[in-house]
Amino acid sequence: MAYTKTSLEGKLILVTGAGTGIGKGVALELARQGADVAINYHGSVEGAMEVVEQIKGMGRRAIALQGDLGVVADCQRIVDEAAAFLGGLDGLFNNAGITLTLEIQDVKEEQFDKIYNINVRGQYFTCQRAVGYLVARGKELLRRFPDASWAGGSIVNMSSVHGMVGFHGHSVYAGTKGAINSFSRELAVELCPKHIRVNVMVPGSIEVPSYFKSDPSYTRAVGNSMVPWGRVGLPEDIGYLAAYLMSDASEFMTGHLLAIDGGLTAKMAIPYTPPAGER
């Protein structure tokens, strides 16, 4: 098969927080596009094993690596084990994270520390550990294919629309996403000389199993009603963009915050009633 920049054939990628939800959707789409994938999970062991089996069923290699990304030693170990199993790293998709919905007066110190440890420290220190492997992979590819150019390594950090706009009860969570946005843009500049691009995905309402668990009244119709585009997002929507950002086709893109939200952040909060006859 002829080489195409959009293909992930031969790519070696680690996806964190991939036992369920968005991470699962991303890992599966990367494998569909040809990548071998190491996935990290914390508590969702059954989901992680299911993802691994699905990826293997596509003819790709996969492994599940348990770990708490709120612990720096686990961040380092997971990256090391992923690179050892895959034979290197072309990309890191940092999806692992937790949320918290509380008014500021009700937030406890331990809750604050936990969400920052996982959402910010987890991404930061997996990025730190991955850099050496991404650089080494580039050197290996250039050694094996001296006449080809290396499109570079790719890091994608997951943020949220909560890091861009305000919403009740999300002061701690939004703060972590703002931190991710800022350190990722700085990292993109810092890693340009190493030929590693860093981008941030900013999802809006993406329907995952936790939606139904946290709110028994939630339905697909409710999700659809919250999004200007007319439907709630799904994990596979994130997967499609993730596949592009991990591909050589995105070589010239780094340092960007990419909202994928069905128009959510583009819409003013002022109530609006469409004129009669307008859809």
Which residues face 39 on adjacent strands?
15, 64
* Backbone dihedral region for residue 262 (phi beyond 0: left; psi -120 to 50: alpha; all else: beta): left
Distances, alpha carbon 1 to alpha carbons 7, 34, 58, 201, 227, in Å = 10, 12, 17, 30, 40
The phi, psi pair for 18, rounded to 5°, reads -115, 20
d(CA 174, CA 176): 5
**Coil/strand/helix, residue 41:** strand
Catalytic residues: 159-160, 173, 177
Distances, alpha carbon 166 to alpha carbons 106, 161, 213, in Å = 18, 9, 24
Q: Spell out the residues 6+ positions from residue 103 whose beta carbon is closer than 8 angstroms to its own.
A: 168, 169
| Helices 21-32 and 235-246: angle between axes, nearest 10 degrees | 50
